[in-house]
Amino acid sequence: MKTFYVTTPIYYVNARPHLGHLYTTTIADTVTRFKRQRGFDVFFLTGTDEHGQKIEQAANKRQPQVDVKQHVDEIVAEYLDIFAQFGLNYDHWIRTTDDYHKEAVQELFRLTDKAGYIYKSHYEGWFCVGCSEFKEEEEAGKAPFCPLHDREAERVSEESYFFKLSAFQERLLNYYQENPNFIRPESRRNEIISFVKGGLKDLSVSRVSVKWGIPVPDDPAHTIYVWFDALSNYITALGWGNKTRSGFDKYWPADLQLVGKDILRFHTVYWPAFLMAAGLELPKTVYAHGMWLSGGRKISKELGNVIEPKILIKYFARDYIRYFCLREMVFGLDGDFTYEALINRVNSDLAKGLGNLVSRTLKMVEKYCQSLLPACPKAFSGEVAEKWQEEACQVRDLCLERSKVFENEFNDYNFSRALEAVWEIIARVDKYISDSAPWNLAKDASNQEQLETVLYTSLEALRYITVMLAPILPELSASIWSQMGLMDSPTNISPENLAWAELPSGNKIGEVKALFPTLDKEKLMAEITEEKKKMSENNTVAPVETVPATPETTETTATTPKVEVPPLRPTINIDDFAKIDLRVAQVLEAERVPKADKLLRLVVDVGEEKPRQILAGIAQYYTPEQMLGRKIVVIANLEPRKLRGLESQGMLLAASIGDEGKPVVAGFLEDVPNGARLK
Ligand code: MSP
């Protein structure tokens, strides 16, 4: 049997479960169902990352005091509860505090040491507790500022074990070269390649000042670095290095490791280097997805735009949320989450689109065919004498062709495009029904064959659609299936085994129920607003710690900083302004400019034939990861100029704040096409 191993990152228990965690896990759950439907033996792993300084600190801050294990147990229980409510069907939940994991992490450490890649030395440098990452010094003696956590890194001076990451630069680059699918999407792959080309330093992999973690074998004064510990989960859960679990020979290397773009470097530089050092195979694909924003802003507790899983599940069917996650966000790019957008999607695609097609078709079967699935039309055995028979064949051909597109796009993890293909079938069948007007055909008994052809063709397309949608809408597709009078479950039917014209004629359809009632947007929004208010009053959802889990949750602050407003420049007229060509652009690539601590090199799409390169002095405040995929505003007709030997073909717009001129990059709340002019 073909196997498939899919993983999500393990979630830090320094924050309670939120939309970001649910998103990655929903994608993994959908991919699991998709592969299982196609006969794969799938193993789907998720879990929690429970060690490290920030978790220890959070537990110690609690009043009354609790021990760290109790603290993490409580948060893990919350994760398990939320994930169960969302119907996420993982095969194993790993906890880095599990004994088998600890034993195996020590084994991995031992093995890399034996292979000659670990040495003891002294670490003198900077560490950001928020990132659990050592930071480079940009100015001699000055603490580097972490833009993700809005604070300076801490000075650390201690004995440490080091991993010889520098020994892997060439091997990693060769691996990336030979395995183009290892890092996806392409833009992120380029970013990692240029990072590795810039040189790799050895990595400190133990801390003496951190106690909450796994001790270094034979030197328990040292605790293993939390990322070494966490990354190992992908193999320890399969029994590597321990006797408790099993599956390593069967499932490793992983087929798909899903991660957010903020943690891609750990997964595509450190992780493969650890595996190489231990002589283990590397995962086939690490796919970095984008971040959910809220109302065009980064999700942040202070801004009050956190998307609460408890609210989502209270007001929306879980299939609605799954559908929205896969359809709304282009996989790999950032996406905006608003309740309005979710309601709009449900109403337009599910209620009006799919739901309407199902109910109008089945109601006609009730009315014109005594609730029995009609006979297979002659058109499908090659008898195409009439125009209406030809039309039925056209609908069939479109359905079969779009099904292939769905399959290819999904296999390539282009979920939104895969779903677009399904909705093209829905739109085509809808039009076919409206054009054929079965209600008119029904007025004359001599049209019965034509009427049944229309209904059979529509039902057959619906059977295909339901099978395609089963991994995304598991509950709703099962209901459609039974309403259609079909046996078994769409989940168990591989699309490869579907053949057109095998709809079981004569089956009695089930009771026709409204599956997707249209949501009353105004009423629902009022209820959600009220519920949010109640929750924040009761403080039932306060995060464990104020250090946010991801860059996206960190940057914005609740109150706009007060700055002195600079005096206005002399008046210009409209013709002066018209000389400036401002355009919408999207960042395709982003990287730091070596030896220039302020500059980022961006490659942007301004809607022209070829992307442009621009240099932006924002590197102290924005990481390349934060800029990737963003829509920005560029002065497109600015004379090119050279900075550090690189040509800048334009300039990005940003607000400039305070004495330091801290930049805040301008962007849009709505989606806008690249190249659109601002005026
Ligand atoms: N513990 C580490 C991962 C270790 S894996 C060996 C970690 N945990 S996390 O809880 O902070 O983040 C887990 C995942 O959630 C990351 O992939 C991150 O990108 C994702 N998300 C967190 N916020 C998100 C959004 N707002 N939107 C989408 N995904 C987000 O990092």
What is the structure's pLDDT at 164?
Answer: 98
Mutate to test the pocket of ligand 1, among 11, 274, 336 (most ligand atoms within 8 A of CB): 11
Sorted by sequence, the CB contacts under 8 Å of residue 127 that are 6+ apart come out as 133, 134, 135, 153, 154, 156
- Measured CA to CA, the distance from residue 142 to residue 402 in angstroms comes to 58
Ligand 1 center–CA 270 separation, angstroms: 17
Angstrom CA distances, 631 to 261, 281, 603, 672, stand at: 16, 37, 12, 8
What the block records as the tokens of 567 is 């005096």
Catalytic residue among 135, 284, 301, 310: 301
Span of 188-202, 406-420, 561-575 with lowest mean pLDDT: 561-575
The 10 Å Cβ neighbour count of residue 458 is 25
Catalytic residue among 101, 131, 267, 289: 131
Angstrom CA distances, 364 to 451, 455, 477, 507, stand at: 10, 8, 20, 15
Ligand 1 center–CA 22 separation, angstroms: 10
Pocket of ligand 1 (CB under 6 A): 9-12, 20-21, 23-24, 49, 230-231, 233, 259-260, 262-263, 291-292, 299, 549-550, 552
- Measured CA to CA, the distance from residue 542 to residue 172 in angstroms comes to 41
End-to-end CA distance of the chain: 59
Half-sphere exposure of residue 233, counting CA atoms within 13 Å on the CB side?
29
Measured from the Cα of 299, ligand 1's closest atom is: 26
Q: Contact at 8 Å (CB) between 559 and 163?
A: no
Catalytic residue among 149, 222, 532, 631: 149
Mutate to test the pocket of ligand 1, among 22, 261, 263 (most ligand atoms within 8 A of CB): 263
Catalytic residue among 35, 54, 101, 128: 128
Active site residue 18: yes
Nearest to 235 by CA among 472, 45, 371, 381: 45
Q: Mean of the per-residue pLDDT values for the chain?
A: 90
Nearest to 68 by CA among 51, 53, 56: 56
More confident of the two residues 672 and 203: 203
Ligand 1 center–CA 4 separation, angstroms: 22
Burial annotation 496-507 (CB, 10 A radius, 16+ → b, else e)? eeeebeebebee
CA triple 30-34-40, angle to 5 deg:
125
What the block records as the tokens of 46 is 């998720």
pLDDT band for position 553 (cuts 50, 70, 90)? very low
Sorted by sequence, the CB contacts under 8 Å of residue 667 that are 6+ apart come out as 296, 630, 631, 632, 633
Please give the helix or strand (H or E) that residue 276 lies within, else none: helix 271-277
What is the structure's pLDDT at 558?
Answer: 28
Provide the 3-class DSSP secondary structure of residue 514. Answer: coil
80 CA to centre of own chain: 20
Active site residue 131: yes
What the block records as the tokens of 5 is 């191993």
pLDDT tens string 588-628: 888 888 878 889 999 988 989 888 999 999 988 887 767 77
Sorted by sequence, the CB contacts under 8 Å of residue 36 that are 6+ apart come out as 42, 491
The 10 Å Cβ neighbour count of residue 560 is 8
Ligand 1 center–CA 559 separation, angstroms: 26
Active site residue 21: yes
- Measured CA to CA, the distance from residue 315 to residue 325 in angstroms comes to 16
Look at strands 292-294 and 335-337 and give their pairing.
Answer: parallel
Mutate to test the pocket of ligand 1, among 24, 133, 257 (most ligand atoms within 8 A of CB): 24
Q: Flag whether pLDDT at 307 surpasses 90.
A: no
Q: Contact at 8 Å (CB) between 216 and 222?
A: yes
CA triple 49-53-55, angle to 5 deg:
50
Q: Flag whether pLDDT at 536 surpasses 90.
A: no
pLDDT tens string 26-45: 999 999 999 999 999 999 99
Active site residue 298: yes
pLDDT tens string 366-375: 999 999 999 9
What is the structure's pLDDT at 670?
Answer: 65
The dihedrals phi and psi of 123, each to the nearest 5 degrees, come to -100, 130
Q: Which pTM does this prediction carry?
A: 0.80
Residue identified by tokens 């890092």 is 183
674's torsion region: left (phi>0), alpha (psi -120 to 50) or beta?
Answer: beta
Catalytic residue among 51, 71, 298, 532: 298
What the block records as the tokens of 20 is 């970001």
pLDDT tens string 313-369: 999 999 999 999 999 999 998 888 999 999 999 999 999 999 999 999 999 999 999
pLDDT band for position 303 (cuts 50, 70, 90)? low
The 10 Å Cβ neighbour count of residue 576 is 9
Question: Helices (DSSP H) in 484-629: which residue ranges?
Answer: 521-538, 574-578, 624-627
Q: Flag whether pLDDT at 554 surpasses 70.
A: no
Q: Flag whether pLDDT at 541 surpasses 50.
A: no
pLDDT tens string 488-522: 999 999 999 999 999 999 999 999 988 888 999 99
Residue whose CA lies nearest to ligand 1 atom number 16: 260
High-pLDDT (> 90) share of the chain, %: 71
